[in-house]
Amino acid sequence: MAAQEDKSANALRIQKEFYVYPPEDAADLAAKINAYYSPAAKLKQIDLYYDRAGNKRNREYEKDAETDAKKLRKELENYGWRVRLMNLGQATIYHWQHYRLWRRLLAETERSVPRIRIDANECQNLVSAIYCCKKIPGSTPVELDKSPERKVRIDMQAGLTPQIPSAMTYLVWGLYEKYFPGVKSSSSAGNSFQNFTG
């Protein structure tokens, strides 16, 4: 998932989805990202946000997530990109937290709060998956139903499971946590890219 902030419009523009299926790997993903952005890139800088869900409960998952992110960083650096890993040391972010932040962002009732804009042509799987994602009925606080990740064939998961939308939520949280209701903090971000590595 790749996005850039449009400061003049106070918007985050989700521009393009990137993903690979096995046996493709980080090298193939980096090649896709580079091929899309390199011809027009003036500043070859990528801020990489990646899924850290459950890292306090499962240290092996944390290690794997960081390893995947580091592999992608290395492959992108081979193309001359400078890559910052944005989630190192981040605490677990629960779905109810994402949910509350999204409610504020998508309300679009406050001028200071950025607008989220998704390119439906370049992010068809993201749009599809958003409609497919469900919460676990009766869950309090809100929990995301991730059962499709076990039920859907691997080559159909992009548009039918919460993986790509989850990737987007980590990007949005990384950039806009300061808008989480009840939180006062400052953060800075430039051109930001996000990849689902799970």
Per-residue pLDDT of the chain (198 residues; tens, 9 = 90+): 899 999 999 999 999 999 999 899 999 999 999 999 988 888 899 999 987 654 444 455 455 556 888 999 999 999 999 999 998 777 778 888 988 999 999 999 999 999 999 999 999 999 999 999 888 998 888 888 999 999 999 999 999 999 999 889 989 999 999 999 865 444 433 444 443 333
Residue 189 has a CB neighbour count (10 Å cut-off) of 14
DSSP string, 63-77: HHHHHHHHHHHHHHH
Which among 114, 107, 113, 106 is positioned nearest to 165, based on CA atoms? 106
Is the preceding peptide bond at 165 cis, omega within 30 degrees of 0? no
